[in-house]
Amino acid sequence: MAHYMGGITGPIAGKPEVIPVSDYIPKEDDALKQLPCWRQFLIWNFSIGVGGNILTTMMTCLLAHALLFPKGLLL
């Protein structure tokens, strides 16, 4: 998609660039039909990440409780 977009113009890039008036619209092909599959993959990926972070945080809290409670430092 970046191939169809204009770049940075003006004093930063140093030289002007022609930017097309019309936008690029993707064709209806197999890529658009795979969007539900990608959405399901992303939901699973995020769920595993969030679940793993919650599990790791709970295990860290349990370890801190197990180490600090016998010494009386917890309360």
Residue by residue, pLDDT tens for the chain (75 residues) are 566 665 666 666 666 666 666 666 666 777 777 888 889 999 999 999 999 999 999 999 999 888 888 777 666
How many DSSP H helices and E strands does the chain contain? 2, 0
The tally of domains found in the chain comes to 1
Output the pTM of the full model: 0.52
**Under DSSP, is residue 31 helix (H, G, I), strand (E, B) or coil?**
helix
Distance, in Å, from the CA atom of 19 to the CA atom of 53, rounded to the nearest integer, reads: 44
Q: What is the domain extent for residue 38?
A: 2-68
Q: Is 19 inside a domain boundary?
A: yes
Q: Do residues 38 and 31 make contact, with C-beta atoms less than 8 angstroms apart?
A: no
In a domain, 74, yes or no: no
